[in-house]
Amino acid sequence: MRLPFPDPHHTLTARDTARTLAATIMNLPGISIVTPSFNQGQFLERTIDSVLSQNYPNLEYFVMDAGSSDNSVDIIKRHSEHLDFWRSHSDKGQSDAICEGWKRSKGEVLAWLNSDDYYYPNALATVGQFFAQHPDVLVLWGGIAIVDEKGAVIRTKQPKQLDAVGLLLFKDVPGQAAAFVRRSVFEQLGGPRLDLHYVMDWELWLRIALRYPPPAVALINDTLAGATEWAGAKTSSAATADLVEVRRIFAEIFSSSTIPDEVRRVRRRALARSWWRQSKAELNIGARSAAARSLAKSVYLSPGSVRIGKTLRQLRRIVFR
């Protein structure tokens, strides 16, 4: 199955014009999108086209390239007249690019779309209409399709209610490509942290879950974006660096005197889960001794949550792989 994708060069029809006029009359909020980019020219045109072809009437779009050495800059230049801002120079990482774009922006609703992901047709109209009709909602998540390098759907991921405990245990982590926040969230909490390079989105969702009541976060089942799963993706090549960042965040959160009791109670389970994930990552890169040590740490930290069958299967893979 291939994803529906619009022709980025199509001309406006009478229906498109009517839709745009209706959207303007509905007073849709401004939406500002930032694409952080670095050496992903094989996907970048698809990403840019998916934003510009939305024909959203109140859109700002920024492409923040970190000095790519492939064809990314040529692609950006081809679309430059339709961008509100772009640059190509070294920066402090993905979070730096996102925050720079958001600081430059003026939209009421903010998002970032990675340079290997893309929006489905009419995604921004759906988002804008929802925020216009629900002024008390601060954060909106939709569904995403996980796709391969050619755009074929591997699986779909529907949004689940945001919950700090669930996030700490790596359950139901929202799909970043289908996440949108009001500017007030950025002003109150800040954007993705510059000192994080792998789990900046997960940490931002944690801050949101710990700060705002559940009614401030809304979910829609519409599939809004496609997220590409491929070997060159940063999360795919992280090895265990992402989990080092995770445990650093754990240390910060669980040392706080203000976290709710139900959050504090999952500390050992959360740590155990991180070591379990690390064991799997280490085994994937052939580090069997390290994988065994991480598995042992996971069992030690939370023996009550151990699933005997899964643990034995992991141990068998470590020994006999």
Question: pLDDT by residue (tens digit) across 95-106?
Answer: 999 999 999 999
Section 217-242 average pLDDT: 81
- State the DSSP code for 223: E
What spatial distance separates the first Cα and last Cα of the chain, rounded to whole Å? 34
Q: What is the pLDDT of residue 24?
A: 53
Task: Place 160 in a pLDDT band, splitting at 50, 70 and 90.
Answer: confident
Q: Is 139 helix (H, G, I), strand (E, B) or coil?
A: strand
d(CA 46, CA 75): 10
Q: What is the pLDDT of residue 145?
A: 95
The residue ranking higher by pLDDT, 18 or 310, is 310
Q: What is the pLDDT of residue 150?
A: 85
Section 136-151 average pLDDT: 94
Q: Is 268 helix (H, G, I), strand (E, B) or coil?
A: helix
> Which pairs with CB-CB distance under 8 Å and at least 24 residues apart come from 250-256?
250/168, 250/274, 253/168, 253/206, 253/210
Is the pLDDT score of 247 beyond 80? Answer: yes
Q: What is the pLDDT of residue 36?
A: 97
Q: What is the pLDDT of residue 233?
A: 56
Q: What is the pLDDT of residue 87?
A: 97
- For the chain, where are the E strands, in sequence order? 31-37, 59-65, 85-88, 109-112, 117-119, 139-147, 153-157, 179-182, 217-228
CATH classification number, 14-228, choose in 2.60.40.1190, 3.90.550.10, 3.30.420.40, 3.40.50.10490 = 3.90.550.10
Q: What is the pLDDT of residue 138?
A: 97
Q: What is the pLDDT of residue 27?
A: 87
Let me know: does 9 contact 45? Beta carbons within 8 Å.
no
Is the pLDDT score of 236 beyond 70? Answer: no
Domain boundaries, the chain: 14-228, 241-320
- High-pLDDT (> 90) share of the chain, %: 81
Among 9-18, 30-39, 202-211, name the one with the lowest average pLDDT: 9-18
Section 240-257 average pLDDT: 94
CA quadruple 225, 231, 233, 239: dihedral sign: positive
d(CA 157, CA 1): 16
What rounded mean pLDDT belongs to the chain? 89
- Torsion of Cα atoms, 193 then 170 then 242 then 157, to 10°: -90
Section 143-152 average pLDDT: 91
d(CA 171, CA 159): 11
d(CA 2, CA 287): 36
Let me know: does 253 contact 202? Beta carbons within 8 Å.
no
Is the pLDDT score of 50 beyond 70? Answer: yes
Label the pairing between strands 31-37 and 117-119: unpaired
Largest CA distance in the chain: 65
Is the pLDDT score of 260 beyond 80? Answer: yes
d(CA 282, CA 14): 56
The residue ranking higher by pLDDT, 321 or 191, is 191
- Is residue 142 exposed (0-12), middle (13-18) or buried (19+ Cβ within 10 Å)? buried
What's this model's pTM, rounded to 2 decimal places? 0.87
Q: What is the pLDDT of residue 14?
A: 42
273-300 pLDDT, tens digit each: 999 999 999 999 999 999 999 999 999 9
Q: What is the pLDDT of residue 231?
A: 75
Length of the chain counted residue by residue: 321
Let me know: does 19 contact 47? Beta carbons within 8 Å.
no
Q: What is the pLDDT of residue 16?
A: 45
Section 231-258 average pLDDT: 83
